[in-house]
């Protein structure tokens, strides 16, 4: 009986995997290191090997799986099954990930941008459960996003839909990882907050917790900025305010286009919890039309690091046949 799916979330440092039933129950989850040596040629083999070992360990049969859903950081052509570019994994351009995994598993495989996959996971079994019109924003090293309309991810003509982090936000002269200047990612990501925090330390002589942290540790991290801001540090509050202002403007723009019922904030920065949401909420309210603002709720992601693998399983729950051709 085909009652299970395999969810895989490939990251720059680790690969998360899970066996998940069609009702959303997780049967097993684990992770392995991402071997990016030799342009990442070992990654597919490592995935196939660990899945096969886990199937034997749990006394499952490969025939009991519907298929495999895979998330990849970067630009993905879901229809062609290729990774066109991934900044953290040195695959060649248009890497045929779907084809290689299907050859290894003898199962149908779908690939998706990791942020889109996380959005699907949160919609199915997370903070957005029961909702069909969702905007998810992931705040980590970069800014990712997934836009879901009527239960389906907005991918666009070649998979570039939902690239929230690359909305132009400010002519700040900072080059984004994509090569453009002034992207939202240069301001509202963990990396952006650290940069802004360091600028505050360098450009202001007043006392700040960030100065003390940097002197003690030799550097500051995004969590330091957020913790200092929540404690009332003036300069750290200015950093968070700047980041959330530009994030609020970007999200508001998308709200006016898609009119979602929920905005979900995930990623490592979201660990700041309700404090972060309150800073963002004031700008969402300021820049969003009241009718659209009052129709939505703002929530923290609830699946954490499992969102990607849960979303991967969801791809093979029979809801995305246009992409999967199954």
One pLDDT digit (tens) per residue for the chain, 326 residues: 788 999 999 988 899 999 999 999 999 999 999 999 999 999 999 999 999 999 999 999 999 999 999 999 888 998 889 999 887 899 999 999 999 999 999 999 999 999 999 999 999 999 999 999 999 999 988 898 999 999 999 988 888 888 999 999 999 999 998 889 999 999 999 999 999 999 988 887 777 889 888 988 999 999 999 999 999 999 999 999 999 999 999 999 999 999 999 999 998 899 999 999 999 999 999 999 999 999 999 999 999 889 999 999 998 765 444 443 33
Q: What is the pLDDT, as a whole number, of residue 87?
A: 78
Q: What is the pLDDT, as a whole number, of residue 317?
A: 64
- The span from the CA of 89 to the CA of 132, in Å, is 32
φ, ψ for residue 134, nearest 5 deg: -135, 145
Q: CA angle at residue 192 from 70 to 211, to 5 degrees? A: 135
Q: Is 113 helix (H, G, I), strand (E, B) or coil?
A: strand
φ, ψ for residue 21, nearest 5 deg: -75, 165
Q: How many CA atoms within 13 Å lie on the side-chain side of 255? A: 27
Q: Which ranges of 218-273 would DSSP assign to H, the alpha helix?
A: 222-230, 234-258
**Residues 208, 200: contact at Cβ < 8 Å?**
yes
| All domains in the chain, ordered by first residue | 4-121+305-324 (3.30.420.40), 129-302 (3.30.420.40)
Q: How far is CA 322 from CA 2, 60, 155, 302, in A?
A: 20, 29, 12, 28
Exposure of 80 by Cβ count < 10 A (0-12 exposed, 13-18 middle, 19+ buried)?
middle
């Amino acid at each position: 009986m085909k009652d299970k799916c395999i969810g895989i979330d490939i990251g720059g440092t680790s690969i998360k995997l899970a066996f998940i039933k069609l009702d959303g129950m997780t049967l097993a989850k684990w992770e392995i290191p991402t071997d990016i040596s030799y342009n990442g040629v070992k990654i597919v083999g490592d995935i196939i090997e660990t899945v096969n070992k886990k199937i034997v360990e749990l006394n499952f049969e490969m025939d009991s799986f519907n298929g495999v859903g895979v998330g990849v950081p970067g630009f993905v052509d879901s229809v062609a099954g290729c990774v066109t570019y991934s900044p953290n994994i040195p695959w060649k351009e248009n890497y045929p990930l779907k084809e290689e995994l299907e050859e290894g598993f003898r199962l149908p495989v779908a690939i998706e941008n990791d942020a889109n996959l996380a959005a699907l996971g949160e919609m199915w079994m997370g903070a957005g459960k029961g909702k069909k019109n969702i905007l998810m924003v992931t705040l980590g090293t970069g800014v990712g996003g997934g836009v879901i309309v009527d239960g389906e991810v907005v991918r666009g003509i070649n998979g570039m839909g939902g690239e929230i982090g690359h909305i132009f936000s400010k002519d700040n002269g900072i080059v984004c990882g994509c090569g453009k200047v002034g992207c939202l990612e240069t301001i509202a990501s963990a990396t952006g907050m650290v940069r802004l925090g360091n600028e505050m330390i360098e450009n202001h002589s007043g006392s700040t917790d960030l100065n003390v942290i940097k002197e003690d540790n030799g550097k500051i991290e995004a969590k330091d900025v957020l913790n200092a801001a929540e404690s009332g540090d003036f300069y750290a509050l200015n950093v968070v305010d700047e980041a959330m202002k530009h994030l609020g403007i970007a999200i508001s723009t998308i709200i006016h286009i898609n009119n979602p019922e929920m905005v979900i904030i995930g990623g490592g920065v979201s660990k700041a919890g309700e404090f972060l949401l309150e800073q963002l909420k004031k700008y969402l309210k300021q820049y969003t039309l009241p009718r659209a603002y009052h129709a939505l709720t703002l929530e923290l992601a609830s699946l954490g690091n499992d969102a990607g693998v849960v979303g991967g399983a969801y791809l093979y729950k029979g809801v995305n046949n246009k992409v999967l051709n199954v």
